[in-house]
C-alpha cells in the first residue's frame, strides 16, 4: 500500500494544470463558425448568439501550434472569407502559452468590439474597439494554467 501511495505522489507533480482557449459569440444576429486547425482541420463548430466554444490548450507536434479560425460564413475558411484567427502554442516545458490574434482576408467583426482576454490580470489583453486590428504585433505569453477568452462583439 505504501508503495502505491509513493508511486502516485511521484507521478502527480508531473501532471500540469492546463487552461482553455474559449470563444464567446456575443454578437446579436450573427452566427460564428469555428475551426480548430493544427496539423489537421477540426470539425466545424457553429456558435449562435450567446454560445461558447471551449478547447483545452494542447500541443500539436507537427505544427507546434493551433489556430482557431472564426468566420461569419458557413464553410468560410474554404472560401477565403474574412476570418479572425486566435492562435496559441503551448510550451509544456515552461508551462507557458503563447497567444495571438489577427484577421485574414478582411475583418469579419468590423464595427464590433473584439477582445482577447486572459483570466490572469498579469497577462496582456487585446481589445479591438472597432473589430479591426490596430497596427503592430498582437502576441503575448501567459501561464498555461489559466483560460484565455476571445469575446466577439464584447459589450461596453
110: CATH = 2.60.110.10
Q: How many Å separate Cα 149 from the centre of its chain?
A: 7
* Count of structural domains, the chain: 1
Domain membership of residue 110 (yes or no) is: yes
Domain membership of residue 135 (yes or no) is: yes
Domain membership of residue 2 (yes or no) is: no
Does position 6 have pLDDT exceeding 70, yes or no?
no
Interstrand relation of 126-128 and 114-118 (parallel, antiparallel or unpaired): antiparallel
Q: What is the pLDDT of residues 131-153, one digit of tens each?
A: 999 998 899 999 999 999 999 99
Domain membership of residue 47 (yes or no) is: yes
Domain membership of residue 105 (yes or no) is: yes
Q: Which three cell numbers stand for residue 68?
A: 482557431
The side-by-side arrangement of strands in the sheet containing 45-47 is: 45-47, 32-37, 66-71, 83-91, 96-104, 139-143
Q: What is the pLDDT of residues 31-89, one digit of tens each?
A: 999 999 999 999 999 999 999 999 999 999 999 999 999 999 999 999 999 999 999 99
Domain that holds residue 103: 16-152
Mean of pLDDT values over 2-17: 47
Q: Which three cell numbers stand for residue 66?
A: 493551433
Closest CA to 24 of 38, 5, 45, 40: 45
Domain membership of residue 129 (yes or no) is: yes
Domain membership of residue 113 (yes or no) is: yes
Domain membership of residue 7 (yes or no) is: no
Residue 4: DSSP 8-state: H
Amino acid at each position: 500500500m505504501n508503495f502505491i501511495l509513493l508511486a502516485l505522489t511521484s507521478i502527480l507533480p508531473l501532471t500540469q494544470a492546463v487552461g482553455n482557449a474559449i470563444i464567446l459569440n456575443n454578437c446579436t444576429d450573427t452566427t460564428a463558425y469555428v475551426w480548430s486547425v493544427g496539423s489537421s482541420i477540426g470539425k466545424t463548430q457553429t456558435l449562435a448568439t450567446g454560445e461558447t466554444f471551449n478547447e483545452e490548450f494542447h500541443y500539436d507536434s507537427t505544427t507546434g501550434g493551433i489556430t482557431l479560425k472564426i468566420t461569419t460564413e458557413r464553410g468560410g475558411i474554404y472560401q477565403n472569407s474574412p476570418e479572425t484567427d486566435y492562435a496559441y502554442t503551448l510550451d509544456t516545458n515552461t508551462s507557458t502559452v503563447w497567444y495571438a490574434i489577427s484577421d485574414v482576408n478582411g475583418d469579419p467583426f468590423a464595427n464590433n468590439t473584439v477582445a482577447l482576454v486572459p483570466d490572469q490580470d498579469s497577462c496582456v489583453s487585446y481589445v479591438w474597439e472597432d473589430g479591426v486590428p490596430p497596427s503592430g504585433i498582437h502576441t503575448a505569453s501567459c501561464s498555461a494554467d489559466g483560460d484565455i477568452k476571445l469575446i466577439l462583439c464584447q459589450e461596453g
